[in-house]
Chain A
Amino acid sequence: MFSDTFALTARDLKKWVRNPATIMPGLFLAVFWLALFGSSFNPTNLIPTQIGGTSLPPAVLSQIRSAIVGTFGGAPTYITYLTAGIISLIAVINMAYGGIGIVLDRQLGFRNMLLASPISRASIYFSGVLQNFTKVMVLALLTFVVALLIPNGLQLAQGFGILGFLGFFAAFALLTFAFSCIFTTIAFSVKAVEPLVAIANFIAFPLAFISNSLFPIASFPNWMKTIAQVNPISKANEAARLLIVNGSLSTSQMGIFAGDILYLAVFALAFTILGYVAAKKALKAE
């Protein structure tokens, strides 16, 4: 099964590497969100310096400022806060596009060629999951680099080293893997590209907006808060932000981080299994 999965994944990635232009739309999206949307919003600039003609004392101003920065998880710039959110937003949106190749394979008869060959059905599913996952993780890495290159953009805390980097991407890897399972299964079940994109948008956007991706949950109405708190996207963002904002974690922060990673791991495992069961059904003889 592993060599079958590997052969099929290699086929997809070979096609992807030969056609690097396909990564550009995702990368542009990252640049637009981070450089344009991110730079347009700086919450500390909205603090009034005087109220009713009276100037606020500098001590009060600085207290308000640090309170707001605190709401943003201690991120020194909005882009520092936003980077994790945009990585997860782009990951979820690009999953939909990753599914297009799977639908085209069905339309062009490639799927039938696989199904009539002796390879295990599981390898067809897992190769779909893996190729989507790999593409999105490369995009996530590029988005991280873009955030670092933007003036006044992503500012990494002192002490953010190789372990922090690995932890940061581990959170997104688990999130991306789970979503890859979901979207691969959807792609196996639909016959055309249009419903795939429609379903993907229907899932991806609400899920991304009802999370801490763009703004802190504190500003949400209560019903959104409830959903956002259990949303795995929020967990991945929270774990990733802890690392870039703090560098090295305190014991209590480590507890939150470990909780988030565990949550994401369970989520990924659950959807790997659910996705496999559903995909196996979708891949059955017609």
Chain B
Amino acid sequence: MKTNIIEAVNLTKTYKKTVKAVDHISFSVEEGELFGFIGPNGAGKTTTIKMLTTLASITDGTASVAGYDVDKNPAAVRENIGIVPQELTADDELKGVENLLLSAKLHHVPNDVARKKGKELLELLELEGAAQRQVKTYSGGMRRRLQLAMGLIHEPKILFLDEPTLGLDIQTRQNMWTYIRDLNRKEGITVFMTTHYLEEADSLCDRIAIIDGGVIKVSGSPSQLKEKLGGDVLTLELNGDSDATLFLRNIEGISEVTKGDSVYRIKLLQAGKVLPSIIEEITRKGFTIAQIGLTKPTLDQVFLQVTGSSMRDEGSNGDAFGQRILIERLK
């Protein structure tokens, strides 16, 4: 049985006794898992990472990381984690390799080991050509990759990634996904990441939790969450005038049928498996299909259903950006 490498119970962060950034959340991450925290800006993602990485104190509840209590034994937690923060912390004036070796020093990695591991990482992240250049000459993607290398130089058990592809173009983002996936699958590093790109969470994470207003709304694997929405939607247009609604409802695998004009909206679970037999039954009954379309549920739909689709810039209680500014002031 796999053990929980991160465990949060009723984890809470309140700033100056008034602003609840994170409100009694509980979750666990198994060893070797790639776990994603998704939510709108200001939902509490970064605050949660800060608590788990010993940067923010815990107001209430407990958290353990790598088997150590974050509050009671922060030093042991720090030994076992690597962090790639949202801000790019690599020093502009220093060369790529100097940043990497400094990061190794901060984690007490012996020089010869650091050099060897550094070389490997620079190769893996395709930075070996730029290693001797000052970071101020790097592109956004190179900076992110260097930051990832800096988070990995001491071979941490758990890697925390806070918005790892923020502001990257689509090619660079996909490369970044490949690196992260490889680290997790091949090196066995547990990854805890936050993102507000849903396709990123969908493509990378074994399991996600959606957080909004400091509270976890749902959690599960991306496909589980999508299935909860009611599965895939098939749109079907049939030739002829006869109504097929009743007939369709009785076909196995179909959960719901609604008809508008001549187009049927059919909800079904696991479309890939049941679609061939559905089409076969329809044609056997003598119907001819004029047009057919299939929409798979996206994480976006799950997200919007869970967090509500209202705009977040109206200064209401749900104003996430306002929340962040408030927290910054209170710190």
The distance in angstroms between the C-alpha atoms of A124 and B114, with both chains bound, is: 21
Q: Give the residues in chain A near B50, CB-CB below 8 Å.
A: 286
Secondary structure class of chain A's binding surface, majority of residues: helix
User: Does B56 belong to the interface (CB within 8 Å)?
Assistant: yes
Task: Tell me whether B55 is interfacial, beta carbon within 8 Å.
Answer: yes
Contact B57 A116 (CB under 8 A): no
In the complex, the answer to whether A7 meets B106 with C-beta atoms within 8 Å is yes
Contacts of B107 in A (CB 8 A): 117-118
B53–A109 touching, CB < 8 Å: no
- Residues in chain B near residue A112, CB distance under 8 A: 55, 85, 87, 89
Residues in B neighbouring A285, C-beta threshold 8 A = 54-57, 74
Q: By the criterion CB–CB under 8 Å, are A7 and B93 in contact? A: no
Given A118-B107, A286-B56, A113–B94 Cβ distance below 8 Å? Answer: no
CB distance from A255 to the nearest CB of B (A): 46
B43 close to A (CB within 8 Å): no
Q: Which of A110, A116, A119, A286 contacts B91 (CB 8 A)?
A: A110
Q: Contact between B57 and A11 (Cβ–Cβ < 8 Å)?
A: no
Is A118 a contact of B79 with CB atoms below 8 Å?
yes
Q: Is the CB of B106 within 8 A of A117?
A: yes
State which of A14-22, A77-85, A157-165 sits at the interface with chain B: A14-22
Q: Any chain A CB within 8 A of the CB of B236?
A: no
Q: Determine if B83 is an interface residue (Cβ-Cβ < 8 Å).
A: yes
CB-defined contacts of B102 to chain A, threshold 8 Å: 7, 11
Contact: B105 with A7, CB < 8 Å?
Answer: yes
Contact A118 B56 (CB under 8 A): no
User: Given A4-B105, A286-B331: A109 and B88 within 8 A (CB)?
Assistant: yes
- Evaluate whether A11 and B94 lie within 8 angstroms (CB atoms) in the complex, with A115-B54, A115-B55, A116-B54 already known: yes
B89 A113 Cβ-Cβ under 8 A: yes
B185 CB-CB contact with A under 8 Å:
no
Which one of A116, A284, A285 has the highest number of Cβ atoms from chain B below 10 Å of its Cβ?
A116
Within 8 A of A (CB), among B69-120: 74-75, 78-79, 81, 83, 85-89, 91, 93-94, 98, 102-103, 105-108
Output the least CB separation between B77 and chain A (Å): 9
Report whether A108 and B89 are in contact in the complex, using a CB–CB cutoff of 8 Å.
Answer: yes
Count residues of chain A with CB under 8 A from any CB of chain B.
22
B78 touches A118 (CB 8 A): yes
Q: From B79, B81, B93, B331, name the one whose CB has the most chain A CB atoms within 10 angstroms.
A: B93
Find B106's partner among A18, A19, A119, A286 (CB 8 Å cutoff). A119
CB distance from B228 to the nearest CB of A (A): 35
Nearest CB in chain A to that of B87: its residue: A109
> Are B331 and A109 touching (Cβ within 8 A)?
no
Contacts of A7 in B (CB 8 A): 102, 105-106
Number of interface residues of B (CB under 8 A): 29
Q: Do B78 and A15 touch across chains, with their CB atoms under 8 A apart?
A: no
Q: Is A250 an interface residue (CB 8 A)?
A: no
CA distance A115 to B55 in the complex (A): 7
Residues of B within 8 A of A3 (CB): 105
Whether the Cβ atoms of B93 and A116 lie closer than 8 Å is no
| Cβ-defined contact, A113 with B93, below 8 A | no
Cα distance A285–B107 when bound, in Å? 19
Chain A residues whose CB sits within 8 angstroms of the CB of B75 once the complex forms: 118
B47 to chain A: closest CB distance in Å? 10
Complex Cα spacing A116 to B75, Å: 9
Contact, CB under 8 Å: A19 / B93: yes
Complex contacts, A190 vs chain B, CB 8 Å: none
Given contacts A7-B102, A14-B98, contact A109 B89 (CB under 8 A): yes
Q: A156 near B: Cβ within 8 Å? A: no
Of the listed residues A108, A109, A112, A285, the one surrounded by the most CB atoms of chain B closer than 10 A to its CB is A285
CB neighbours (8 Å) of B85 from chain A are: 109, 112-113
With A and B bound together, what is the CA distance between A14 and B94 in angstroms?
8
Please tell me if the beta carbons of B106 and A114 are within 8 angstroms of each other in the complex. Answer: yes
Q: Which residue of B lies closest to A15 (CB)?
A: B93
CB pair B89 A4 closer than 8 Å: no
Q: How far is the CB of A190 from chain B (nearest CB, A)?
A: 12
CB < 8 Å: which of A4, A109, A114, A286 contacts B57? A286
Give CA–CA (A202, B78) in the complex, Å: 38
Contact with B along A102-143 (1 / 0, CB 8 A): 000000111011111111000000000000000000000000
Instruction: State which residues 252-284 of A face B: CB under 8 Å.
Output: 284
Nearest residue (CB) in B for A119 is B106
Bound complex: CA of A18 vs CA of B91, how far in Å? 13
Which of A108, A116, A119, A286 contacts B81 (CB under 8 A)?
A: A116
Q: Least Cβ distance of A14 to chain B in Å?
A: 7
B52 to A, closest residue via Cβ: A116
CA distance A33 to B144 in the complex (A): 46
Interchain CB contact (< 8 A) of B87 among A108, A116, A117, A119: A108
Inter-chain contacts of A109 with B (CB < 8 A): 85-89
Return the chain A residue nearest B80 by Cβ: A118
Find out whether the CB atom of A116 lies under 8 angstroms from the CB atom of B78: yes
Closest to A11 in B: B102
For the complex, give the distance between the alpha carbons of A285 and B88 in Å: 20
A107 to chain B, nearest CB (A): 9
Which residues of B are at the interface with A, using a C-beta cutoff of 8 A? 50, 53-57, 74-75, 78-79, 81, 83, 85-89, 91, 93-94, 98, 102-103, 105-108, 150, 331
Q: 7 interchain pairs (CB within 8 A)? A: A11-B91, A109-B87, A109-B88, A116-B81, A118-B79, A118-B107, A286-B50
Q: Which 8 A-B pairs have the closest CB atoms?
A: A109-B87, A117-B106, A7-B105, A15-B93, A285-B57, A118-B78, A109-B89, A113-B89
Question: Given known contacts A15-B91, A108-B88, A118-B75, what 9 new A-B pairs fall within 8 Å (CB)?
Answer: A7-B105, A15-B93, A109-B88, A112-B89, A117-B78, A118-B107, A285-B74, A286-B50, A286-B55
